[in-house]
Each structure stands twice: as structure tokens, then as C-alpha cells.
Amino acid sequence: MTWVNAVVHGILLGGFYALLAAGLSLMFGVMRIINLAHGSLALVGAYMAYLLVEHAGITTYLALVPVLPGALVVGYALQRTLLDRSLRGGELVPLLTTFGLLIVIANLLQYFFSPDVHGLSAGGIGPANWRISSSLTIPWFDVLVLGIAIGVLTTLHLLLRRTQLGRELRATAADPDTAELVGVDARAVYARATAIGVAVAALAGVFYAMRASFDPFAGPTQLIYAFEAVVIGGMGSLWGTLVGGVVLGVAQTVSAQIDVQYFQLGGHLVFLAVLVVRAVGQAFELGLRLPGGAGAEA
């Protein structure tokens, strides 16, 4: 039963990872940007909520009401001022830019908020559990986070499939030059994608701050989990991101069941295994395609 407990908790944890990774996946899918500052932008969301909770005396959930639109604006401005320029510089420049952004954000947060550890209250739901047996309990808060992750992914899916903005996003992702030729303002589409990506990051950051304590340098650790979830699930695929998050979460909790110290190691090993399997698979595909000769692609 303890193993069942570990798997259930892993799935729930996977929901959090998927929420964390959704914005990263969206930005990669549309612009091929690997946003290294994603975890740090999530933290910015957490600190924005922290400010409101401390100074306006509202609950963390209510703080989301101004934080999310604020994050949309931050994302939009970030794309228009910084990322647009770096995209023009080639594939590597956005990677360097977002890496720089990660460091700047961490230091700005430290400057304004001190290196102290903070936390946000999850309200009454925080400590509440659904106790099924002596060794299997389900925390309500984790169920809520999984539900929100599925909700966010469903919303993003519907946005991409059913709306004009979604068609523009997918067309621009496939071929930005041709998208321009059918009247799509590719830059404006990019800015909207980043705005949504950062808002989802901020949402994940606020929930992260409710489940664990955070400090100005917590961004990169969260980035690694998000990145692993995205890669395991297949780069840029939204539902793959949910699968990736769950696989990562289960790998971590099951490893921790063997020995608590293995929590992170288990996740990283699964990530590594996925990369190796993909590499071998690709090598096989190439090997099979070669005898087909030239022109097979045309």
C-alpha cells in the first residue's frame, strides 16, 4: 500500500510539474525559445502574490486576480523589448538572453526582498487530507493543483484549436514568414504567446509558494523540473507535458520510497533514460532510412 501511496503522490506531484512546464512548452512550441528564465518568472509571480498578501492583507487565491493580468503584461513587454531582438540574432541568442534574465531576476528579488525564505498560505485546504487507509492519504491541495494543471492545459488546447489566435499561433510556429504573407503579425503573435507563457508560469509560481517555502534563488531548480517534464513529454506538445510531468513525479516519489535521498536522482535518471531511448530510436530511424537512398524525402 505504501507503493500505491507513492504512485498516487507522484501523479499528483506530476500535476504541479505539468502546470510549471505548460508555459515553457507553449513558448518552445511557438517560438523555439527555451526560456531559461521560466522558473525565475514563476518566482516573480510568487513574490507579486507575496507582496499583495503581506501588504493588502488578501488571501493568496485572491492575490491571483491581479497577479495573473500583471504577469500577462510582464510577458508581453518582455517579448517586445528583449526576446524579439534576441530572436533576430539566431537560435543561441535567446538562450543567452534568458540565462541572463534568470540571473538578473534572482538578484533583483534578493535586493528587494532579502535572501530570506518566505511562504504563502494555502488556506484551509493546505493541510486537509482525504485518508483512505493508514498508508494512503490524498492531500486536497495536490488534487487542486492537478485539477488546475488539467484545466490550464485544456484551456490552452482549446485556445490553440478553436480560436483565430490559436490558428495564428500554430501557423506562425510552423512558418513565420508565410504567416506574415497571409496577414498574421508574427511579432504580435509571439508577444501574446510569451504573455500567456509568463502568466501560466506565475500561476505555477504562486502554487509552488503555497506548497513549499521559496527564496530568490529557487527559480533554476523549478526550471529543471519543468524542463524535464517538457522533454520527457516531447518538446512542445501540451498533453505530452502532462504525461511528462506525471512520469517525472512518479519517478521521484517511487525512488523516494526506496530511499528518501533518491527523490531527485530517480527523476533525473528517468529523464536521462528518455533521452537515451530517443537518441537510439533516431539512430535506428536514420539507419533504416539510409538504404532508401536520395529522394525519399522529396
Q: Which residues bind another protein (CB under 8 A)?
A: 164, 167-168, 170-171, 174-175, 177-186
Minimum Å gap between C-beta 181 and another protein is 5
Minimum Å gap between C-beta 141 and another protein is 37
Minimum Å gap between C-beta 187 and another protein is 9
Nearer to another protein, 183 or 292 (CB): 183
* Residue pointed to by grid coordinates 538562450: 95
Nearer to another protein, 116 or 297 (CB): 297
What are the φ/ψ torsions at residue 206 (nearest 5 degrees)?
-65, -40
Nearer to another protein, 119 or 166 (CB): 166
What are the beta bridge partners of residue 136? 133
Residues 102, 212 contacting (CB under 8 angstroms): no
What contacts 24+ positions apart, CB below 8 Å, involve 50-59?
A: 50/113, 50/118, 50/120, 50/209, 53/120, 53/121, 59/121, 59/123
Distances (CA, A) of 182 to 12, 57, 86, 162, 170: 43, 49, 25, 19, 13
Minimum Å gap between C-beta 240 and another protein is 15
Rounded-to-integer distance, Cα 232 and Cα 197, Å: 19
Minimum Å gap between C-beta 264 and another protein is 36
Nearer to another protein, 144 or 184 (CB): 184
Nearer to another protein, 95 or 235 (CB): 235
